Structure 1
Amino acid sequence: MKFDIKKGAKYDRRIKVEHNQTTSFLWEGENVFSTPSMISEMEETCRLLLKEQFLKSKPDWDSVGTIVDVKHIAATPVGAEILLKAEVIETDARRILFKVSAEDRLELIGEGRHERFIINIPRFKERFYQKVKRLDNLKNPNPN
């Protein structure tokens, strides 16, 4: 399958920082938007760029993250609105590299690069379940 992913394609989305997206170790009460949550939202922004702009008519295709190189620059409280941005900066068949950023209403809070790989969902699922079986066999070896 050929994918015509355009370099320079962009996608923006806004989210509100929720309680379940914060750290829990800095102090009691509401804390700050966590790095893993910020990265997760950046990844989803890149995924949606691909899904909505290039894979919309291909329901058996989606993408998975393969590399994350992101700096978390500034703290953001619960309830703040975050603007997430993704831009395709490089393509190589099914491997797509993005420039990503996140900002609140005051400043840039994170930036970096993220790589995703376009997958065929049924084939990916089949390989995954084959691995699950192999791992189960290692846990419960057949005495024969």
Structure 2
Amino acid sequence: MDFEIKLGSENERRIKVNHNQTTSFLWEGENVFSTPSMISEMEETCRLLLKEQFLKVDSEWDSVGTVVDINHTAATPVGAEIILKAEIIGVDGRRVQFKVSTEDNLEQIGEGKHERFIINIPKFKEKFDLKVKRLDEFQKR
């Protein structure tokens, strides 16, 4: 399938940081928005940009993250609203590169680059299922 991914396409999402997205080791009680949670939300912003703007015509296509290069630059508390932004900055076949950023109401809290690869879900699952089977056989040895 041929995709017409447009450079400069953007997506923006707003979410509230909740308690299951925080660190648990800094001090007692709710802590700060964790780096893995921020990266996960950035990835989902990029995924939705592709899915909603370019892959919506065929439900058998989606994308998976392949590269993450993110700086987490400021702490954000539970309950704060954050704005996640993604922009397509490169396309090479089914490989798509994004510029990403996240901010709360006071400052930028993260920025960087992310790469995703467009996949055909049934083919991806077929390869994955084969790997699961091979790993099961390996573990039985």
In the superposition, the TM-score normalised over structure 2's length comes to 0.99
> Match of 1:124, as an amino acid?
F
Structure 1 residue 140: Cα displacement: 1.2
**AA paired with 1:76?**
T
Measured against aligned partners, the alpha-carbon deviations of 1:2-26 in whole angstroms (never above 9, x if no partner) come to 1100000000000000000000000
One-letter amino acid of the structure 1 residue matched with residue 22 of structure 2? T
Residue in 2 that maps onto 1:100:
100
Q: How much has 1:74 moved relative to structure 2?
A: 0.1
Aligned length: 141
Whole-Å Cα distance in 1 between the matches of residues 50 and 86 of structure 2? Answer: 10
**Which SS does the other structure have where 2:91 is aligned?**
strand
Q: Tell me the residue number matched to 1:32.
A: 32
Larger Rg over CA atoms: 1
Instruction: List gaps (5 residues or longer) in structure 1.
Output: none
Unaligned runs of at least 5 residues, structure 2: none
State the distance in 1 between where 2:77 and 2:95 align.
34
How far off is 1:123 after superposition? Answer: 0.2
Specify the code of the residue in structure 1 equivalent to 2:26. L
Q: Could you list the runs of 4 or more consecutive aligned residues of structure 1 that deviate by over 3 angstroms after TM superposition?
A: none
Residue identity matched to 2:115: E
Q: Which residue of 2 aligns with 1:46?
A: 46
Give the aligned partner of residue 130 of structure 1.
130
Q: Percent identity?
A: 74
Shift of 1:50: 0.2
The root-mean-square deviation of aligned C-alpha atoms, in Å, is 0.4
Q: In the alignment, what sits opposite 1:55?
A: 55
Residues 83-137 of structure 1, C-alpha deviations (whole Å, 9 max, x = no match): 0000000000100000000000000000000000000000000000000000000
TM-score relative to the length of structure 1 = 0.97
Number of the residue aligned with 1:65: 65
Amino acid at match of 1:109: I
